[in-house]
Chain A
Amino acid sequence: MTDVTTADYRSGEERIDVTQRVQALPAPAPDQELLTLNMGPHHPATHGVLRLLVTLEAEVVRDLKPIIGYVHTGIEKTVEDKSYWKGIPVIERMDYLAYYFNAMAFCGATETLLQVEVPKRAQYLRVIHMELNRIMSHLVWLGTSMLDLGAVTVWWYCFRERETILDLFEYSSGQRMHTRYFQVGGVMEDIPAGWDKKLREFIKIMPEAIDQYLDLLNRNEIALRRMYGTCPLDAATLEGLGVTGPLLRAAGNPWDLRKAMPYSSYEDFDFKIPVGSRGDNYDRFAVRMQEMKESVKIIEQALDGLPEGPVITDDRKVALPPRHELATSMEALIHHFKLVTEGFRVPPGEVYFPIEGPRGEYGVFMRSDGSSKPARVHMRDPSFVNLQATLPMVKDAYIADLITTLAMMDPVLGGVDR
């Protein structure tokens, strides 16, 4: 037996033709027996506790009903009972893979109501942490999706990089997840010494790591056959369903709130929006991989351009005074006391503050009645709205394609159920 060299293998990869799929599946015959199957809520391939009632004809999905609410935590009502500052940790736990985005939307809405300005350094730090969180969320997505598809090895590589990112979060804020780093008016603390050096190391290794994942998957025949050409959906239907984020961008619409309606200094950075052309599962995969690379670019630009200055607004009625002032200034002590016991009062009104998260548009609707506790907080979560697109996507496709599509949709049930 002759040795197979890498060159042979690579040339073999080039010859893979995945455009030849099985013929399009015919419509169901009138007397076909339909089987209704219950998937979940405890199921290894639904991403969290999602329950699907799938109506099958042999292996073809004819109908699908998602049933959610299995991790409904009543977060929106809990926050009504807490002051704005104390509500941030509760809001962070909604979409548990995008905690900085939850906090950003909530703090942004509060800052809009209060008309408080966030200093530039704080905005840059927020951008860095949000983009790191975006990369981390996409890494978990990639690992678990490929686990569903059977490419188990990718998971360990993704979690290796994820540990590096969580180390950075722990370095800057003390916690790996749900860090409570974003505060109303800025961020909790300045980054410690050595953090930027560690971040630069991460910026250097991350593009190579993404190339490693692509090496494993991009010309992998099984992954391509499962993702290429499966379950496409056009942009018009997606827009009608209110889908945003990488799902919409994979279908060809480059709508991204970071470019269209920038917030928190995103207009200072130069990055591209990856857009797909066919709207199938491969495009959803490719769009997210490229988004990770673009996020690394944003982090690098933000780190290079990080301005000096305060990291939180100096309006003492909103942000805690620095500790050393409590020993000398009576006013600082009173402000601290008021903020910790009652919290700041927010002028009455209603705002809706949307940001672009890893799954789409996160919007916080906040209504304040003038007291120190919010009167209504609603999170417009992208996974909740995107889940409505499952049926149009998988109708008349194989159940194996259903698994792939669910994986590529990246639903996070914490955000769906709140």
Chain B
Amino acid sequence: MPDAPGTELLAQDLREAHGDDAVVGTEFFRDKGAILIAPTAIGDVLETLRGKGFKHLMSVHGVDYYPHEPRLGVHYELLDRDALDRLAIKLRVPLDAPNVPSVTPAWPTANHQEREVYDMFGVVFDGHPDLRRILMPEDYEGHPQRRDFPLGGEPVLFTAAETAGKDYTIGADQPSGSEKAKR
């Protein structure tokens, strides 16, 4: 892993190559470095890092930082197989402008992974060849893995609810079947 000074040096190189506002910050946590960048610079940053040896993009995944703003984050895990290094590139976008340039043309592995981030979080990847839902049905509404999306599921039928005459298939606090039959 690049150690803490190494991460700083990488961040410095990125600032020199792409401007001061490309890099928002660095982190070094549990022996692994991470660089936070501005969303518009992601394509250039990844290309520069590819030149430095991080030739493999292992994972693209999304995070919802609710309630902290900007809320949606996208992380890119890079791997350098020759130097046995890993590096994380992180960026954050707000909910009202969730646009990130897609890296799929340069990194084909990001195709399905960006589609999953779009499906689950609603981050729109500009320039993606085929941005549609991948895991949920095509006409599903909502982005399930956001923190404020309800978990859903069925109410569990407990014996007490059954003997109290509550029909669990409608809802735990709905009137019982006998009232429905009277109508």
Binding site for B on A (CB under 8 A): 68-69, 72, 74, 76-78, 80-81, 112-113, 115, 239-244, 255, 260-261, 349-352, 354, 361, 363, 365, 367, 375-376, 378, 380, 384-385, 387-388, 417-418
Contact = CB atoms under 8 A, between A and B. Distances in A.
Contacts of A113: 30
A78 B149 CA distance: 12
B112 A380 contact: no
Interface in B34-86: 34, 55-59, 61-64, 75, 77, 81, 84, 86
B77 A380 contact: yes
Given A76-B145, A350-B75, 10 more contacts: A72-B135, A77-B144, A240-B107, A242-B57, A350-B34, A350-B63, A350-B88, A365-B75, A385-B112, A417-B135
Contact of B63 (A261, A363, A376): A376
B88 A352 contact: yes
Contacts of B135: 68-69, 72, 417-418
Contacts of B56: 239, 242
A78 B153 CA distance: 10
Contacts of A365: 59, 61, 63, 75, 77
B95 interface: no
Contact of A385 (B81, B113, B144): B113
B30 A77 contact: no
Contacts of A384: 112-113, 116
Contacts of B62: 378
Contacts of A350: 29, 34, 63, 75, 88
- Nearest 9 Cβ contacts at the A-B interface: A242-B109, A380-B59, A69-B135, A72-B135, A378-B61, A376-B63, A240-B108, A349-B29, A241-B109
B63 A367 contact: yes
Nearest to B152: A74
A401 to B, nearest CB: 22
B84 A261 contact: yes
B111 A239 contact: no
B112 A363 contact: no
Nearest to A77: B145
Contacts of A367: 63
